[in-house]
Amino acid sequence: NAGVTQTPKFRVLKTGQSMTLLCAQDMNHEYMYWYRQDPGMGLRLIHYSVGEGTTAKGEVPDGYNVSRLKKQNFLLGLESAAPSQTSVYFCASSYFGTVNTEAFFGQGTRLTVV
């Protein structure tokens, strides 16, 4: 049971480069989320999705775009990376229901922008 898988696990980008982070879940969850976690800090929500074809802004959406073309995948894009986007990125998914609605997390992507 894979759960939530993020690709890649590590990446170094130069300022101005673009990249896409992929999140895949095999639990048929409706909700998917992208968070960033800076050193010693808590989670901050970037964008989230409540279903295929829908996305919404979170707490810190600037500089990021997302897409949810398939229910199992949630992509996070950085069009022009900046050093301030150096962080660990976590993807999560959760079930739309009345019980067992906890979030399941991926292993994280460590991104460094130089």
Partner 1 sequence: AQRVTQPEKLLSVFKGAPVELKCNYSYSGSPELFWYVQYSRQRLQLLLRHISRESIKGFTADLNKGETSFHLKKPFAQEEDSAMYYCALSPRGGGDKIIFGKGTRLHILP
Q: How many CB atoms lie within 10 A of CB 19?
A: 16
Residue 89 engages partner 1 in binding (rule: CB under 8 A)? no
Does position 43 interact with partner 1 (CB under 8 A)? The reply is yes
101 binds partner 1 (CB under 8 A): yes
Q: What is the DSSP letter of 83?
A: G
Query: Considering only residues 22, 30, 72, 86, which one is a binding residue for partner 1 as defined by CB under 8 A?
Result: 30
If one counts every other C-beta atom within 10 angstroms of the C-beta of residue 44, the result is 14
Shortest spacing between CB 71 and partner 1, in angstroms: 15
Half-sphere exposure of 12 (CA within 13 A, CB side): 1
Of 48-67, which residues contact partner 1 (CB under 8 A)? 48, 50, 56
